[in-house]
Every structure is written in structure tokens, then in C-alpha cells.
A and B are shown apart, each in its own frame.
Chain A
């Protein structure tokens, strides 16, 4: 059981009435205790997929199991294990922080009187605000309240739908720390984001979704290794107007109005081609005053995949 995925999605698709297909036959397994980042542009189907797992949207086809419980036929057991932090700041304006978090805990079938709630509110720096009406809180504090509500019933699987939307840098950093603490406690976390930095910072595995199709799922490090390209940028002493024919073998490009010569190479390959490229440049008398290498970010990979899909 412990090695079984905590979430298993099989052939889930969603077509809205008189509308577009939001999801196409998605298959996905999420392992216990991992942090999984679902990346995709707006309208890719990220929120639809989360909403289906949580029971907010009815799938057109497919099946979902949460910790071995069918999300449709055994929905009570499945939902008890899931917490959701929605993208929108949807709160009950007139309720106090403590009341709304206690409400969430009870709603999911747990007793409201719990030292856990105090611990949770302290953990999220909300304890001092526990009697404050939600409408008096800032956007960042409201986001914390939503996280507290999602964690109130001690879920095993937490969905964070665009957790950094509209929050400042400090809160974002705080949330990242919280996510790591939750993972240390054994909570599995799935976050959707279009902030690549967030996925790079937090995720163990990454899935890329576009136009309702899950394009790939891979370990973050493996993905970057597999698809990552490195770039060698040479700042030329004399700007160039065209690439000499003798360098075409390496297919470099001119950047920065001819001041920079860029050579893209595969960092994981046996031969990078850099020594021979530099040697040929020397033979041609092309001088450079600086050189710099950089690796592709997850963002470059993501954009490349999405562009390819288009």
C-alpha cells in the first residue's frame, strides 16, 4: 500500500457542454510524499484536472483513485484525504479566521476542538489574527487563511492551485518553506503554476500540460538533464554581420546586433563541440573578449514544449 501511488488518474477527459475539450485522456500517478508541479499556460486544463479530483467538476470519462479509494464511488473516503487551496481568494468575508478554519475542519468530518488548529494558525502566522474578520485581512493573509482551511482536516494530499498568484515575494518564500515542512510531515503536494521558478524551487517531478493534454511527466532533474541545452555566448571584439561558412557546422547564431556569437550545445553529450568550435574561430581570426555559458531553465523547456505543441 505504501508504494502505491496516492493519486492515480486514468483516462480522465472533460468536454464541457457546447464547449471545448478541457482535458484529453489524462493518465497520471502521484507518489506518496512527493511534490509534483503541474505546469501549463492559462487555459491548459490544470484547474480542471484538480477540480475533477476534488469533486468540483464531473469528468466526462475516466477514473480516479485517492489512496486506493475511488473518487466517484467511494468519494467520502477519497475526499477526506484531499485538501484544496483554490486559485481565487474565495472566503466568507464576515467570518473570523478561527471560525472559518474550524468550519473547514468540521466540514471534512473532524471534531472542531483541536490543538491542531492552534498549531496550524501559529504555523501560518495567523494566530494573532484568529478573531479578525476575514474581510479585514490583506490579500496575502487571506491566502494564508485558504491554506489553513485546506490543511484544517489534516489531508494526505494537498492541491495548491496557483499558490503564488497575487502574493508578494516574502509570502511566496514563506509558502515554499511551508510546503517543504508539509512534505517532511508526509503530505503529498500537487501544485499548479505558471511560475517556473516555483516549480524549480519546490518540485520533485514536473508535468507539462497544454490544451488539455499531458505532454510529459518526469523527474525535474532528469527533465532538465534530458531536455536541457547549454549556451555558449562569445562577446566579439569586432561585431559580425554574417556567420562565416566555415562555422556552419556548429550552427551558431548572432545575437545582440552581431556583438555576440551564440553556440548551443548538448551538455549531456559525450562531445560538446566547444574545443573544435573555438579552435576554428581562432583559425579564422575571430577574436572574442568574453565568454559565458548558461543552462536552459525549466521555463525554456516549458516554452519549448508548449510551442512545439502549438
Chain B
């Protein structure tokens, strides 16, 4: 195992995060505060409880995942896309690193950033609402699992993308709409049919509800299914990345 190599990539990526630390952390703090002002105060006053949870607290898991989805994809995709863009990828490709070691370095760093941002949002939310956590260890484990999964997804997108525009396409046009429609700010049980059944085809529903379960011990869908969907997406991303390294697709000529 090339531990020095993994550490080199991890440190490099964390240094990039460090250069933009204030923007990286202030943006989620401000965004979360704005969501609380709009949803928590303005709309929340009209919807006191959802599934027995105060509305302000109910939206926190969704808010955290909304940020984690986009930050994970952005950080991990930029991490591997920038060397491709600047041409420094030659060094990575010629280094004695296995695909696993390369992914551990990049995805590990991106996951760390995402988890930090998630925890900053969590801390910010505490300023607005009381937030009990039913399963704290599960909450941390789920947070790391979801962040790592979306970082791997972002890593694959970074290899796939041929330009900055393509980097934005999937997070903005696919992931964000699915998150908003996936019960980030509401319980899918309040939807009328057939929308409720249609919503259940959205995988993000399971991710958000699994995470929400770790907070409140209740969920719109079974926590086992949520975990299975998350693990399934993780496995799919892993398979995609494995195939990329095996074939050299968009990495090597």
C-alpha cells in the first residue's frame, strides 16, 4: 500500500479546501440560515409538526444532505478534473498508485470536506431549533456513508466531464431537483396519489429518510430499504470507477 501517495493526494486536496476555507464554510452557514428564515419561520409557522417532529427540526437532515450532495459532487469532481484540465494528471497516472489508493486519496479528502460542511450546518441549525438525535452513531456513520458515496459519484463525473459546463450538469439538473422532490422539506406521506407512488421511484427519498431516521427515529420508508439504496448507489459508483481505471476511459489515451 502506497500510504505516502494516498497521504500526498489527501493533503493536496485538503490544502485546496484550506485556501477557500471561509467561502467553503460561510456559504453553507448563510444558506442554512436563509433556509431557516424562509422555511423555518415563514412556512414553519404554518406547519407546526411533520410526523410528530417540529417543522424547523424536520428539515435539518434534508438541509444537511442537500449541501452534502452538491458539495461532495463539486469537491470530488473538481479534485480529479483540475489535473486533467491543467495537464498535471500525467504525474498521477505515472505514479505507483493503485486505483484504490488514488480513490482513497481523492474521495477521502472530498468526504472529509463534506462531513465538515455537514457538521457546520448541523451546528448552525442548533442556533435556530432544538435538535435531539435519536441515533448519534448511526447519524455520523450515515453522514460519512452518504458523503463518501456522492464523492465517488463526483469523482466519476470529474473523469467523465470534458468541460466545466459538464461538471455542473448532473448536480444542477439531476441531483438538486431530485433532492427537492425527494422529501428534503416535506414528508412524502403528505403527497396525494399518484405523486406519492411516483416519488418512491426517486432514490433520494430513501437517502433523506434514512438520515432523518437517525435524527428522529421515524421515517417515511423502512430504514433497511434506505440503507440498501445507499449501499447500492455506493456499489454502483465503485463499479463505475473500477471500470474507468480498468479501461483508462477518459483518463488515459
Contacts and interface: CB of A to CB of B under 8 A. Distances in A.
Interface of A: 16, 51, 54-58, 75-80, 82, 84, 86, 88, 90-95, 99, 102-104, 106-112, 149
B177 interface: no
A7 B97 CA distance: 20
B47 interface: no
Contact of B91 (A16, A80, A107): A107
A19 to B, nearest CB: 9
Interface in B110-165: none
Interface string B182-219: 00000000000000000000000000000000000000
Contacts of B98: 76
Most chain-A Cβ atoms within 10 A of its Cβ — which of B88, B91, B97?
Answer: B91
Contacts, number: 83
Given A79-B95, A104-B91, A107-B4, 16 more contacts: A51-B253, A55-B94, A56-B253, A58-B248, A58-B253, A75-B96, A79-B96, A84-B94, A88-B87, A94-B16, A103-B11, A106-B11, A107-B9, A107-B97, A110-B4, A112-B4
A84 B90 contact: yes
A79 B91 CA distance: 11
B95 A99 contact: no
Nearest to A99: B15
Interface string B1-35: 01011011101100110010000000000000000
A222 B164 CA distance: 53
A20 to B, nearest CB: 13
A56 B7 CA distance: 22
A104 B83 CA distance: 14
B89 to A, nearest CB: 8
12 contacts: A55-B94, A76-B2, A76-B96, A80-B96, A90-B87, A90-B88, A90-B90, A106-B7, A107-B4, A108-B5, A109-B5, A109-B96
A1 to B, nearest CB: 20
A94 B19 contact: yes
A108 B7 CA distance: 11
A158 to B, nearest CB: 12
A104 to B, nearest CB: 6
Nearest to B9: A107
Given A51-B253, A79-B95, A107-B92, A112 B8 contact: yes
Contacts of A88: 87
A58 B253 CA distance: 7
Contacts of A111: 4
Contact of B252 (A58, A80, A110): A58
B90 A86 contact: yes
Contacts of A77: 96
A111 B9 CA distance: 13
B225 interface: no
A108 B90 contact: no
Given A106-B7, A110-B4, A112-B4, A57 B91 contact: no
A61 to B, nearest CB: 15
B93 interface: yes
B106 to A, nearest CB: 12
